[in-house]
Amino acid sequence: MKRWQRQTVGMAWGMGLCVAALACAQQPKAGAAAKVSGFSAATVEEKARALAAKPYQEPPVGVPPSFEKLTYDQYRDIRFRDAASLWREEGLPFRAQFFHPGFYYTRPVGVNVVEGGKARPVPFSTEQFTYGPLVGSPPKGKVNGFAGFRLNAPLNTKDYYDELVAFLGASYFRALGKGNVYGLSARGLAIDTAQPGGEEFPTFREFWLETPAKGSDTVVVHALMDSPSVTGAYRFAIHPGERTVMDVDSTVFARKPVRQLGVAPLTSMFLFGENDRGDFDDFRPEVHDSDGISVWMKNGEKLWRPLKNPKQIQVSSFHTDGLSGFGLLQRDQAFSSYEDLEARSERRPGAWVEPVGDWGAGSVRLVELPTREEIHDNIVAFWVPDAPVQAGAQLRFSYRLSWGFAPEGAKAGGSTVAATRVAAGSKPGARRFVLDFTKASAEGTGPVEAVVTASRGQVLHPRAEVHAVTGGFRAAFELMPDGEGPVELRCFLKRGSETLTETWSYLWIP
């Protein structure tokens, strides 16, 4: 499958687990949204609480065989009619369009539109879609619901409704800031990712779309989550712009104990880059949707870890008593770093999670999975609370999720890691690391020092200097390993007692 194909079917394709994730998408019970009903902010939470009190039931396939049998190329040949967009006739600042059920998406989800405190279902009809020559006539059979939906808005120009955000497959969704093309995805929850026994994929089984007011810069989406372990109520207030921002409020109800609850998960792809090219024989210098993870602690420390495509599953954990934010970023935004006219990787957004309120002690967990193909999302990052999740627990998490070229916003300031390169050292068995940092926001005089630490082995020849071309800094050092085990490396730059940069963090494996 080619890169553009991944982007079409894409967001639940990750980690070689797409079939498991998509199979989790559930169909509402027949008649559950058959008429207009009252709706308030508490409606979805009440539904989630009631659902958690019942045993989990795996829903049956909700489409007829003619929909199931659609091939990949046939599914791509089905298009939603712009004239059938929700809110189009009212001239509102957002429009909603829907994804056709079938192919992998065989358990449709219910979608409701809310206006004036009343919710009504959006019925599926083949008249909402065009069917290309590979499909011919529409598939036969009755369906309640859709595979998912997308919201469009005038993101890049005032006169065109660009795709802004899409919800499709399990609890996957993704969004764009101004000038971006789709890359990484987010999820509602991640349960037992990279744990023995396999991962559980919660799913959004029903949605409510609030009709936006004329002139509004915000659209609100509600979602009901279900899985064997948890149920949940989610509210997304979505604000498009240079950075598209989602204010997310979630309430999770645990049916049973959860070994690893992954909050605000992000999913991306890293095939190879300047720090980890592997043995790929490719004309492109780098292939990835994100090149690193950034973690900010409330004590002021900021970490940056470049991503890798490991030979075996690799899990890193960054513990903190207070989290300020974390995200998967695409810092390298130069076309020359990718040379891909089709994928346009330099335009992929980063995504940044900023907790609202105190999440308590816990860890940002980074999972890196081996892959040989760029169609697989092999990178996952999420927050894991220290407190165990017991059956019957009710948990609330609110956070701001931002998408864009610099999703951290103005708070990013300071000198950050711009590049990581690894090569042979000056002695047999040694490895050389060369790190580039951006220009510091504050000017100063005096020598710059590279502070380098290693969990094992010996650090040789650490040095730092002003980068004569960029105006930033370059640091270099060598590592002489001690044994065959992995080595945790850290480096930051300082001038006297002043810390100039974020902390570069790297796991080197022989």
**What structural domains does the chain harbor?**
3-113+120-133+148-411 (2.70.98.10), 414-508 (2.60.40.10)
| Residues 6+ positions from 458 with CB-CB distance below 8 Å | 479, 480, 482
Reported as a pLDDT band with limits 50, 70 and 90, residue 410 is low
pLDDT at 9 over 70: no
Q: What does the block give as tokens for 302?
A: 């900021």
What residues does 395 pair with on adjacent strands? Answer: 252
**Residue-level pLDDT at 26:** 38
Q: pTM of this prediction?
A: 0.92
Whole-angstrom Cα Rg for the chain: 24
Using 50, 70 and 90 to split pLDDT, how confident is the model at 442? Answer: low
Task: State pLDDT tens for residues 121-155.
Answer: 999 999 999 999 999 999 888 898 999 999 999 99
DSSP per-residue letters across 331-366:
----GGGT--TTT-GGGPPEEEEEEES---SEEEEE
Please state the separation of Cα 107 from the chain's center in Å. 23
If you average pLDDT over every residue of the chain, what do you get? 92
Q: Which of 431, 461, 25 has the alpha carbon at shortest distance from 224?
A: 25
